[in-house]
């Protein structure tokens, strides 16, 4: 299991739920993951991690904004920054649920997990990737 920070910022496979792409799940949570995860424990840890990141969201967003919108800057040409720094930082901040209480964030995490668990579009996109590119 890993976190792909490019995907976290903007360029999830097939698009992103926030950009109306093919991949509609907030994150990949396949039957295989569900078989090995202690979902309740993982949900609690995920929520604690999100709450911890929210406490430092200004620092996180400042790190991303270190990059410029200068098209000659090689960092700006990273695929995860192609939609522009403003769009990336606004979308990331929204995913941190800044106006919600800790209890509301926990409820949001539950919704994210429910929406992600064995998502039909994720399974279809994975099948497409497998048959067209041999990617599992």
In SS3 terms, 5-44 reads as HHHHHCCCCCCCCCCCCCCCCCCCECHHHHHHCCHHHHHH
Closest CA to 106 of 52, 46, 17: 46
Tens-place pLDDT, residues 58-98 = 998 888 777 665 666 665 566 677 777 788 888 888 889 99
With tokens 């000659």, the residue in question is 72
* Pair 51, 43: CB distance under 8 Å: no
Tens-place pLDDT, residues 34-62 = 888 788 888 899 899 999 999 999 998 88
pTM: 0.69
**Helix and strand tally (H, E) in the chain?**
7, 0
Question: Six-digit token pair at 126?
Answer: 């994975």
Say how many C-beta atoms besides its own lie within 10 A of residue 38's C-beta.
9
Q: How far apart are CA 122 and CA 62, in angstroms?
A: 32
């Amino acid at each position: 299991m890993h976190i792909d920070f490019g995907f976290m910022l903007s360029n999830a496979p097939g698009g992103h739920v926030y950009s109306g792409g093919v991949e509609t799940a907030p994150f990949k949570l396949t039957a295989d993951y569900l078989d090995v995860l202690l979902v309740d424990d993982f949900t609690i840890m995920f929520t604690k991690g999100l709450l911890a990141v929210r406490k430092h969201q200004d620092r996180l967003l400042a790190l991303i904004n270190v990059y410029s919108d200068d098209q000659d800057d090689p960092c700006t040409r990273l695929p995860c920054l192609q939609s522009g720094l403003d769009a990336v930082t606004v979308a990331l901040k929204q995913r941190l649920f800044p106006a919600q209480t800790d209890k509301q964030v926990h409820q949001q995490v539950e919704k994210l997990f429910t929406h992600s668990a064995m998502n039909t579009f994720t399974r279809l996109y994975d099948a497409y990737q497998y048959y067209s590119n041999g990617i599992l």
